[in-house]
A and B are shown apart, each in its own frame.
Chain A
Amino acid sequence: MLKPTLRCLLMGAVAVVAAAFVAGPANAQKTKLTVYTALEPDQLGPYKTAFEAATPDVEINWVRDSTGVVTARFLAEKDNPRADVIWGLGASSVALFDSMGLLTPYSPKGSDKLKPAFVSARQPVAWTGMDAWLAVICYNTVEGPKNKMPKPASWADLTNPVYKNAIVMPNPASSGTGYQQVYAWIQLFGEKAAWEYMDKLHQNIGVYTHSGSAPCVQAGKGERVIGIGFDMRGAKEKTGGAPLDVVLAKEGAGWDMEATAIVKGTKNLAAAQKLADFAVTQKAYEMYGKWYAITGWPGLITAPPNYPPSADAAMVKIDVVKMGVDREKILAEWIKRYDSKSAPK
């Protein structure tokens, strides 16, 4: 084989390269935690600051992408994991990791106080939920009337041919929001009817975006009239001045939970546990509550501005564990049917 010879050659080169690039001075004091996340970019700063203020000897290194990408990346690295902790990834994905034995179970201090739905079923706890996010319809109130497109009230409305090319939704392969809604349709309509529904919807989709935030942002800019996005981004855009109505479809909304878990094989277990503990404190839930209405802390009632009312009533009955297990099969079918119309990536 070429490899041993190569190794000799490369060993020599190591010296050259090492001389050329002097490594920066090691910052040995703080433990650096590599945290995989699909949180929204604007949440990362405040979350990091809050945790580091509470735990001065640990520093967070975010690795952030859309839910689908983080999930795919985590699975691809499963033999040699690079993450220490997951903080803010869909519970369906995290439950899937748990079923594959990729997590270190740990019951964070205070996890017994949470709403039961926000703690994994098994003991010790595999993951804890932070908040739930819901799929919504973002409707542009300026472009809609201008283009004679009425405000939709249900998922069924969206197949009306009047909306041709005016709707954007996230690609479920890369976006958690996209997948949770596809899964919700299957729960709501049954498998066969759900695919028929998506076939019809597909006729009206302008583009399947890479991320779950893009649809409501694009609808907010009037670049598209309707975006199938998620609650927090829609509310935030509206608060920022976008002419949007954030609609909860009357059949019910797909949802997933953001979850926290410790990765199996982490070299920084103590620091990882500190983060897992922090993630279930009341203070942390109050922080999540600034963005989302439904959090895991019992009795914590928050109403982020412009958040659609009575969201918890709209949540479709979903088993997040099963949602994670079915993911691969459903995505394969989805890609086969619709991927040629998807935005790059």
Chain B
Amino acid sequence: MTAFATGDAAVTPLARRRLDRDDVLMRLGICLLIAWLCIAMALPLWALLSKSFQNQNGEFIGLANYIRYFSTPALFISVWNSVMIAVVSTAFVLPLAFVYAYALTRSCMRWKGLFQALALIPILAPSLLPAISLIYLFGNQGFLKELLFGGQIYGAGGIILAQVFYCFPHALIILVAALSMADARLYEAASALGASKMRVFFTVTLPGAKYGVISAGFVIFTLVITDFGIAKVIGGRFNVLATDIYKQVIGQQNFEMGAVVGFILLIPAVIAFTADRIIQRRQVALLSARAVPLEPKPVPRRDWAMFAFCAAVGGLIFGILAVSAWASVITRWPYNLTLTLNNYAFGDFDTDGWGAYWNSLSLAIWTAVLGTGIVFVGAYLLEKTRGFALGRALAQLLAIMPMAVPGLVLGLAYIFFFNAPWNPLGFIYGTLAIMVVNSMTHFYTVCHLTAATALKQMDPEFEAVSASLKVSLLRTLVRVTVPVCLPSILDISIYLFVNAMTTVSAVIFLYSTNTKLAAVTIVNMDESGFTAAAAAMAMTIVFTSTAVKIAHVLLTRRLERTTQAWRRR
């Protein structure tokens, strides 16, 4: 900050003018960002909300839709079902992910890299994949069916199992981050005072990771309550909120009731999001400048126990993936086990065949390219410029809001907003563009936070120095900031690519004849009973996102050698 002040003081009248131009540019940029987020998120949500108070002819009918919803027990029970599923899944995922993260950060077990990679597999797959695998494992013809002792996989149990697989990496990433920072001095003090291992865990380790655990809990809760693919495939007769919206909107074309369920689905997500924000605000820096980073020391018994645990969990994750891979090449389970590639001839099972895959690919590429641009420039404007406090605060708020909006709800909101007759933007309805806008917005927050963190790590002196050297903001951005932040920019674009490739819920209401997506065809093929083809399409998505992820890792390594040499001392 002092550096900035000196820089400011040294400004000559000529530079002042330059700064003014930058100032105008910055204000304009922030206004554009606000306008963008309003169009892509705030206004559609407003359209959704107003729709839920209307009847089918568009007349205002107050709370009538809500009253009807809550007086229909078959619908209302879904609220309870959804919350129950979310709570139970969270209760399973949290301890598993915590121990796994602990093993990765605090033990000296072997093959940490492999275990980390294994645990991240579910992120590369559509959420429907674990559900399909579970049907092959525990369905009425499942080869491990006996393990259920006559029970059924269709229903709450199946949903929870699949959710645990799907949510595990999301929790793991947060917990690894939380556990990798620790002050060794605390542990030294504890052992000097003769505290037992158990006590150290409960008084030092756990409190240190407290905020991570809470955050992970909320993230899983939101993921489960808003996911729709899993419940659709393996839910059987068990109804949840996410499938209810779908049933109302697609099955019965009752958009008003869909809006009501959408709004109800928004409530738990927003509560979880707000609670997390409030709690995170209380977090204070645990690591002071004098902290000594904790280096795990080998403890053979613990390390081998951790190894066994990670091998079991990682093995299960890999196993679930392997089941789908295997199912996708079987001719006719369980009667004809000859291997075949016929299930990959998607044209036999769905109108669009491989076309849907190419649509998904172009959606993912557009989302990654445009999304990264908008997110990064947006974060730059908010982090690296000064002044215009009001606009900045509004943009900041809008940037973190998408995280609380479930994909299904955003998709439904887009129908109401972009298909409204008065909307001049209506021409993007039914095109790939609307899905690109939707995906960029749906995944905005995580990308924004990644970019903001990367930018925060850069000294503000860069901007101050360039200002005093009369270099424009734009030039500093292009010549200094972007190259320095390149690894994070890559991270963001890969995140967008993979998510756009795998998401179902964000786009299920928005695709049209020419723009059907791979993940959507999984839902359709499963609906018609073509489970093997659905597994094949899910595997095609996994292969694609894995290939992209591997390319990303290699590229990042290369970048670190070339442009990031300054990070090394």
Interface residues of A (CB under 8 A from B): 3, 6-7, 9-14, 16-17, 20-21, 34, 40-42, 44-45, 61-66, 68-69, 72-73, 75-76, 142-143, 173-174, 206-211, 213-218, 220-224, 240-243, 339-345
* Cβ-neighbour of A217 out of B74, B232, B252, B528 (below 8 A): B528
Least CB distance from A213 to B in Å reads: 5
Known contacts: A344-B231, A345-B246. The answer to whether A17 contacts B139 by CB under 8 A is no
Least CB distance from A133 to B in Å reads: 15
Could you list 6 examples of A-B contacts with CB < 8 Å? A40-B528, A41-B350, A207-B154, A217-B529, A217-B530, A241-B331
Tell me the bound Cα distance from A95 to B424 in angstroms. Answer: 36
A222 B529 Cβ-Cβ under 8 A:
no
Known contacts: A42-B349, A223-B139. The answer to whether A345 contacts B250 by CB under 8 A is yes
Contacts of A3 in B (CB 8 A): 422
Known contacts: A214-B527, A242-B332, A345-B251. The answer to whether A41 contacts B349 by CB under 8 A is yes
For residue B203, CB closer than 8 A to chain A, the reply is no
Chain B CB within 10 Å, residue with most, of A21, A220, A224, A242: A21
B433 A17 Cβ-Cβ under 8 A:
yes
Contacts of A6 in B (CB 8 A): 43, 422
A62 B43 Cβ-Cβ under 8 A:
no
B74 A242 Cβ-Cβ under 8 A:
no
Contacts of B113 in A (CB 8 A): none
Contacts of A17 in B (CB 8 A): 425, 428, 433, 437
For residue B514, CB closer than 8 A to chain A, the reply is yes
B351 A211 Cβ-Cβ under 8 A:
no
Contacts of B423 in A (CB 8 A): 10
A344 B370 Cβ-Cβ under 8 A:
no
For residue B513, CB closer than 8 A to chain A, the reply is yes
Known contacts: A42-B348, A61-B513, A242-B332. The answer to whether A207 contacts B236 by CB under 8 A is yes
Known contacts: A41-B350, A222-B334. The answer to whether A344 contacts B141 by CB under 8 A is no
Chain A CB within 10 Å, residue with most, of B139, B250, B336, B353: B250
Known contacts: A10-B424, A72-B253. The answer to whether A340 contacts B74 by CB under 8 A is yes
Chain B CB within 10 Å, residue with most, of A34, A45, A216: A45
Known contacts: A61-B514, A217-B528, A242-B335. The answer to whether A21 contacts B428 by CB under 8 A is yes
Chain B residue total in the interface (Cβ 8 A): 58
Contacts of B253 in A (CB 8 A): 72-73, 75-76
| Given A10-B423, A173-B251, A345-B246, 7 additional A-B pairs, CB 8 A | A17-B433, A42-B348, A45-B353, A61-B514, A75-B253, A142-B335, A209-B527
B425 A344 Cβ-Cβ under 8 A:
no
Least CB distance from A77 to B in Å reads: 9
Tell me the bound Cα distance from A44 to B304 in angstroms. Answer: 57
B246 A344 Cβ-Cβ under 8 A:
yes
A223 B141 Cβ-Cβ under 8 A:
yes
B433 A21 Cβ-Cβ under 8 A:
yes
Contacts of A213 in B (CB 8 A): 528-529
Q: Which 7 A-B pairs have the closest CB atoms?
A: A217-B529, A344-B243, A76-B253, A214-B529, A72-B253, A21-B433, A341-B237
Instruction: Digitize B35-54: 1 where CB-to-A-CB distance is under 8 Å, 0 elsewhere.
Output: 11001000100000000000
For residue B209, CB closer than 8 A to chain A, the reply is no
Known contacts: A17-B428, A41-B351, A207-B236. The answer to whether A63 contacts B513 by CB under 8 A is yes
A218 B252 Cβ-Cβ under 8 A:
no
Instruction: Digitize B346-381: 1 where CB-to-A-CB distance is under 8 Å, 0 elsewhere.
Output: 011111010000000000000000100000000000
A345 B436 Cβ-Cβ under 8 A:
no
For residue B143, CB closer than 8 A to chain A, the reply is no
Least CB distance from B356 to A in Å reads: 12
For residue B247, CB closer than 8 A to chain A, the reply is yes
Tell me the bound Cα distance from A3 to B46 in angstroms. Answer: 12
Least CB distance from A23 to B in Å reads: 8
Contacts of B251 in A (CB 8 A): 68-69, 72, 173-174, 210, 345
Contacts of A64 in B (CB 8 A): 351
* Cβ-neighbour of A222 out of B335, B347, B370, B428 (below 8 A): B335
Least CB distance from B293 to A in Å reads: 44
For residue B543, CB closer than 8 A to chain A, the reply is no
Instruction: Digitize B219-231: 1 where CB-to-A-CB distance is under 8 Å, 0 elsewhere.
Output: 0000000000001
Tell me the bound Cα distance from A143 to B432 in angstroms. Answer: 45
Tell me the bound Cα distance from A34 to B513 in angstroms. Answer: 9
* Cβ-neighbour of B425 out of A14, A40, A173 (below 8 A): A14
B39 A10 Cβ-Cβ under 8 A:
yes
Instruction: Digitize B321-355: 1 where CB-to-A-CB distance is under 8 Å, 0 elsewhere.
Output: 00000000001111110000000000111110100
Residue of B nearest to A80 (CB): B421
Tell me the bound Cα distance from A328 to B530 in angstroms. Answer: 30
Known contacts: A213-B528, A214-B527. The answer to whether A345 contacts B332 by CB under 8 A is no
Tell me the bound Cα distance from A243 to B332 in angstroms. Answer: 11
Residue of A nearest to B529 (CB): A217
* Cβ-neighbour of B252 out of A21, A44, A72 (below 8 A): A72
A222 B141 Cβ-Cβ under 8 A:
yes
Instruction: Digitize B415-434: 1 where CB-to-A-CB distance is under 8 Å, 0 elsewhere.
Output: 00000001111001001110
Least CB distance from A122 to B in Å reads: 28
Contacts of B437 in A (CB 8 A): 17
Contacts of B350 in A (CB 8 A): 41
Contacts of A34 in B (CB 8 A): 513
Known contacts: A241-B332, A241-B336, A340-B74. The answer to whether A211 contacts B528 by CB under 8 A is yes
For residue B140, CB closer than 8 A to chain A, the reply is yes
Tell me the bound Cα distance from A87 to B90 in angstroms. Answer: 47
For residue B239, CB closer than 8 A to chain A, the reply is yes
Tell me the bound Cα distance from A41 to B512 in angstroms. Answer: 16
For residue B402, CB closer than 8 A to chain A, the reply is no
Contacts of B431 in A (CB 8 A): 21
Contacts of A214 in B (CB 8 A): 527-529
A345 B39 Cβ-Cβ under 8 A:
no
B347 A45 Cβ-Cβ under 8 A:
yes
Tell me the bound Cα distance from A199 to B239 in angstroms. Answer: 21
Contacts of A224 in B (CB 8 A): 140
For residue B235, CB closer than 8 A to chain A, the reply is yes
Contacts of A63 in B (CB 8 A): 512-513
Least CB distance from A319 to B in Å reads: 25
B529 A218 Cβ-Cβ under 8 A:
yes
Residues of B269-312 at the interface with A, using a CB-CB cut-off of 8 Å, are none
Tell me the bound Cα distance from A44 to B350 in angstroms. Answer: 9
Residue of B nearest to A214 (CB): B529
Tell me the bound Cα distance from A210 to B246 in angstroms. Answer: 12
Tell me the bound Cα distance from A142 to B335 in angstroms. Answer: 9
Residues of B135-157 at the interface with A, using a CB-CB cut-off of 8 Å, are 135, 139-141, 154
Least CB distance from B234 to A in Å reads: 10
Tell me the bound Cα distance from A344 to B35 in angstroms. Answer: 37
Contacts of A20 in B (CB 8 A): 370, 433
B35 A340 Cβ-Cβ under 8 A:
no
* Cβ-neighbour of A340 out of B239, B336, B351 (below 8 A): B239
